[in-house]
A and B are shown apart, each in its own frame.
Chain A
């Protein structure tokens, strides 16, 4: 029998436990939110299976432990893609030792024309380190969706190959755990790209 004016001890214990649980949940929620939304996290990127320049199947898991710098484009692009990839190659030079921990990847949004052989030749011209990937249309559609990449044909003439591609033009920096770190603007110099990337690589 209790004669004190305060709440029963069991009530205090329940409240304390409740508060701790709430704090833990809040903390966990904040952690998930920060990783999920604040720095991209699972909102951009994800598993993919594509084809390399030799027609070999490549999975994203091959790049765990390394940063990935991913760019979506197409080889029949006259201006934006060669300009960006040229700067990317320049950025690799400016990154120095850090470049060894970074895998630059070009993924085509035009698998119809960009066969493995075409992609292999195309990327080699910019840098021997640049890995070109293509695949079946559904494989490309899948990875583009994961990276939230918009792409569409824009007809330029009556022939079947008379088209250019409208496409999102951004470099995606992914961490050694495969998770999205940050977008890097494509329309800047290699020096500027390298400076941004170096800061984000730990």
Chain B
């Protein structure tokens, strides 16, 4: 009797854990070329189709440390400050993109070249650890306002979805 209860409990926890992980979808995780020993970056979009959550950190085996940061310009001066958490919820994705939120990779253990891929683990307050694969891009341009003239903005953008 006790053993089946334990089993039921384990199964429940496992199912709940899986469901929480599946609520978080990491899309379009990309990085830039970087020098070994130097600093790297990860940009990505997080969709949350489940309960509201918070992105609280990141880690990767290819760098000594990974931190959540925000770039901003203060009276013409570019600054970067660490971010303790980023809220995410249904219909409220969080996007890490150039000149804004990003994951800073410090002490890169390898050079990053276009086409390389590496794993990153995101930590969420509720969902826990969620993994993603990051692709190093050669360019990854910022799209300016004038570049968007003539673009069909009503068509949905194609995302490469990475499920944990």
Contacts and interface: CB of A to CB of B under 8 A. Distances in A.
A83 B141 CA distance: 8
Contact of A78 (B41, B79, B141): B41
Nearest to B96: A79
B139 A169 contact: no
B38 interface: yes
Interface stretch (A15-23, A48-56, A59-67, A185-193): A185-193
A188 B99 CA distance: 10
A76, A78, A118, A170 — most chain B CB neighbours (10 Å): A78
B140 interface: yes
A112 to B, nearest CB: 14
The number of chain A residues touching the other chain, given as a range, is 20 to 34
A79 B41 contact: yes
B147 A191 contact: yes
B76 A78 contact: no
Contacts of A146: none
Nearest to B80: A164
B73 A82 contact: no
B152 to A, nearest CB: 18
B78 A168 contact: yes
A150 interface: yes
Interface in B18-52: 32-35, 38-41
Given A78-B39, A79-B104, A169 B144 contact: no
Interface in B111-164: 139-147
B76 A75 contact: no
A78 B80 contact: yes
11 contacts: A77-B80, A78-B102, A79-B69, A79-B98, A80-B71, A82-B32, A86-B139, A166-B74, A169-B76, A190-B141, A192-B146
Interface of A: 75-80, 82-83, 86-87, 90, 118, 121-122, 125, 150, 154, 156, 164, 166-170, 186-192, 195
